[in-house]
Amino acid sequence: MSGPVEIAFTVNGEAKTVRAVAMARLLDVLREDLGLTGTKEGCGEGECGACSVFVDGTLVNSCLIPALQAVGTSIETIEGLAKGDALHPVQEAFIAAGGAQCGICTPGMILAAVSYLRDGGDAKEASIREALAGNLCRCTGYMKIVESVARAAAAIAREERTS
């Protein structure tokens, strides 16, 4: 048996310290210790992407990260994406294009899309599909999800042209 250890890290810009078992999943620490239930659990085995978060700016499956490996990192979850009341362009696009159905895959889909667009991804369907290949939607709403990301890509490109 192994007792809890101190996990100090930054979550959505705020310094946090929790006590958790070293092998506890980051997913459970976020949801249960910090109450950030926007991050979802789907398969729990790294297949579905519902638990996607950013660790130090990199998209990861939080079900595959032991709490101890989160020490000293900066985590961004779906709750940290909007700036106050201003939604991220990907969130706006999911609303506009009907990219969410039951909603379980949506936080992961949105963060995978944000990761793709932060890396300079464009509105090409094949590229979007590859970028979202690790995120499963059991409502099979893929058409509208891909459309949402393409819309967001276009909106971001427009914004960059005008700024």
Partner 1 sequence: MLRAAANEYELVAPGTLGGVLDLLADDPEGWTPLAGGTDVMVLLGAGKLPPGRFVSIWGLPELRGIAVDDDAVTIGALTTYAEVQADATCRAELPMLCQAARESGAAAIQNRGTLGGNIVNASPAADSPPPLLCHDAELLLVSRDGGERRVPYDGFHTGYKRMSMRPDELLRAIRIPRRPRPDPALHLFRKVGTRAAQAISKICFAALAEVREGKVAHVRLAMGSVAPTVVRCKAVEGEIAGRAIDDARIAAAVAALDDDIQPIDDVRSTRHYRERVARNLLEDFLVALAER
* Residues found near partner 1 in the complex (CB under 8 A): 1-3, 21-25, 28, 41, 43-47, 49, 52, 58-61, 63-66, 68-69, 71, 112, 115-116, 130-131, 133-135
β-sheet with 14-21: strand ranges across: 14-21, 4-11, 74-76, 52-55, 58-61
Nearer to partner 1, 69 or 74 (CB): 69
Nearest approach, Cβ of residue 121 and partner 1 (Å)? 10
Q: How far is the CB of 46 from partner 1 (least distance, A)?
A: 5
Cβ closest to partner 1, residue 89 vs residue 108: 108
| Shortest spacing between CB 10 and partner 1, in angstroms | 16
Q: At closest approach, how far in Å is the CB of 161 from partner 1?
A: 27
CB of 100 or CB of 113, closer to partner 1: 113
Q: Which is nearer to partner 1, 43 or 95 (CB)?
A: 43
Nearer to partner 1, 22 or 154 (CB): 22
Q: Are strands 58-61 and 4-11 parallel, antiparallel or unpaired?
A: unpaired
Residue 161, amino acid: R
Instruction: Please tell me the distance from the alpha carbon of residue 138 to that of residue 62, in angstroms, as a whole number.
Output: 19
Nearest distance, CB of residue 102 and partner 1, angstroms: 19
